[in-house]
Structure formats: structure tokens, C-alpha cells
């Protein structure tokens, strides 16, 4: 082989490799921006439904049930296809279902909690204002350091804006906030946005500590009925 030609080929291969590496880095950066948002720390993504296969959700990875329990769910949390994307489905029959991710989040830096949900079945007679009927198709739980929490719920009966403190004498203090109510929008995807920093400060009269866990829930144990809900995107935003 002509040495000049061989040398030129080696240079061409080396240049091609460099171009491919640079292209890979560019696409990796694009993927990172799409995942995390427009700037550093601007978005904290919580859902990762696309990382799981369709079917029962693996509860030994990022998402785990809380508090830990030995009983099995009658219908385990599952990844399902909905409008061309993978989402999480929770369905209950006379039981409480809670799964969450432990993730340190600074509510001052990213105060806005944004999520998508679609209620499919509301618990008959559920009402956040009554301890014996305190069931909801969907809840989003935010747990802070210091044993306090906020829960944003889709109630069957109580009007939007209702705030309830069902465990005032317990060590763990929580406030349930109704953001959706009734069957009118069942079966539709809805997007919610709440300023968790301001909600916590208003409800507990103090600046919020760091967030340590975010969970999604569905409850039918008090009313002994059934529920079904789906969750899509779930993240914290800076603004």
C-alpha cells in the first residue's frame, strides 16, 4: 500500500473518531438539558416511568413502599401505556397504597411542585374532612425533615381549597390540601402546580426544611371501596 495513502487514511479515521466523540458529547449535553431543565438546578425530575418495562413496578429500586410492609397489594403499582407514553397506575381495593422516592430537595431553590395525574375511579363517599372516610383516588406526598409533610389530594366530596390536619396529636404532622374534587374531570389528564415553599410556610408558620421524600398514593381503606389513578410527569421547578 502506498505509505502516503495509508497515512492519509489514518488521519481520516482519527478525524472521524474525534467528530463522533464531539457529536456524542453534544447529544449527551442536549439530553441532560432536556432532563434537568434550562439551567443548573432549575428542575428536579422525580418520575422515571420510561426506565421501567410495562407491568408491575419494581419496588426494590428508586421507588419503594412506605412505611415498609409485608402485606401484598391486591393489584400492585404498574407501568402502563397511556397516549403513547409510559405512566404509573395505582389501583386499590379497600387498602392504602403509598410509594415514594427518597431524594434531597431544597424547597427554597425549587419551590414549585408540578405533576400530572388522571383519576379513573374515585372512592365512594371519600371526604378528607372525616377521619372514617378519609380516602382519595390520588395523593402527592411531600415529606420534610423534622417529621412534617404536605399532601395534595383529589377528593371525592370536599371542595377545592379544603385543608385538613387529621393527625394533630401524632408525632408526624401533615396537612392535606384538596386541589381537585369530584368526578367532573375523571378520565382526563390534568396538570397541577403548587408552591410548596409558600404552602409549608403558611400552614406550619415557619420556613420549610429540606425535603427528603416525595410519594404518590391512593386510598380506599377507610371507605372500603376502590380507587384508580395514573401519574405522569412529576418534578420540582425553580419558577
As a 3-state breakdown, the chain gives helix, strand, coil percent values, each rounded to 5, of 20, 40, 40
Residue 174: is its pLDDT beyond 60? Answer: yes
* Backbone torsion region of residue 202, taken as left when φ is above 0, otherwise alpha when ψ lies between -120 and 50, otherwise beta: alpha
One domain for residues 52 and 19 = no
Q: How confident is the model at residue 26 (pLDDT cuts 50, 70, 90)?
A: very low
One domain for residues 13 and 127 = no
Q: How confident is the model at residue 167 (pLDDT cuts 50, 70, 90)?
A: confident
Residue 39: is its pLDDT beyond 60? Answer: no
Per-residue confidence (pLDDT) for residue 48, from 0 to 100: 96
Per-residue confidence (pLDDT) for residue 72, from 0 to 100: 93
Per-residue confidence (pLDDT) for residue 41, from 0 to 100: 57
Whole-structure pTM value: 0.82
Tens of pLDDT along 67-112?
998 889 999 999 999 999 999 999 999 999 999 999 999 999 999 9
- Joined grid coordinates for residue 221: 381503606
One domain for residues 32 and 48 = no
One domain for residues 22 and 112 = no
One domain for residues 67 and 179 = yes
Per-residue confidence (pLDDT) for residue 168, from 0 to 100: 73
One domain for residues 11 and 82 = no
- Angle CA(114)–CA(118)–CA(123) in degrees, nearest 5? 115
Amino acid at each position: 500500500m502506498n505509505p502516503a495513502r495509508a497515512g492519509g487514511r489514518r488521519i481520516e479515521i482519527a478525524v472521524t473518531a474525534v467528530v463522533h466523540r464531539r457529536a456524542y458529547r453534544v447529544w449527551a449535553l442536549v439530553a441532560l438539558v432536556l432532563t434537568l431543565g434550562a439551567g443548573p438546578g432549575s428542575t428536579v425530575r422525580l418520575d422515571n416511568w420510561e426506565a421501567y418495562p410495562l407491568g408491575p413496578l419494581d419496588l426494590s429500586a428508586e421507588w419503594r413502599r412506605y412505611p415498609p410492609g409485608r402485606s401484598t397489594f391486591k393489584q400492585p403499582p404498574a407501568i402502563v401505556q397511556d397516549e403513547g407514553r409510559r405512566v404509573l397506575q395505582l389501583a386499590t381495593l379497600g387498602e392504602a397504597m403509598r410509594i415514594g422516592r427518597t431524594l434531597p430537595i431544597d424547597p427554597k431553590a425549587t419551590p414549585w411542585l408540578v405533576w400530572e395525574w388522571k383519576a379513573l375511579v374515585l372512592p365512594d363517599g371519600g371526604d378528607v374532612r372525616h377521619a372514617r372516610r378519609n380516602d382519595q383516588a390520588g395523593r402527592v406526598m411531600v415529606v420534610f425533615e423534622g417529621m412534617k409533610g404536605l399532601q395534595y389530594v383529589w377528593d371525592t366530596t370536599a371542595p377545592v381549597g379544603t385543608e385538613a390536619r387529621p393527625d394533630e396529636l401524632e408525632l408526624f404532622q401533615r396537612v392535606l390540601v384538596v386541589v381537585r374534587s369530584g368526578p367532573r374531570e375523571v378520565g382526563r389528564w390534568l396538570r397541577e402546580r403548587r408552591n410548596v415553599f409558600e404552602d409549608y410556610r403558611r400552614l406550619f408558620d415557619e420556613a420549610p426544611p429540606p425535603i427528603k421524600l416525595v410519594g404518590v398514593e391512593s386510598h380506599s381503606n377507610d371507605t372500603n371501596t376502590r380507587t384508580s389513578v395514573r401519574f405522569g410527569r412529576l418534578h420540582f421547578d425553580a419558577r
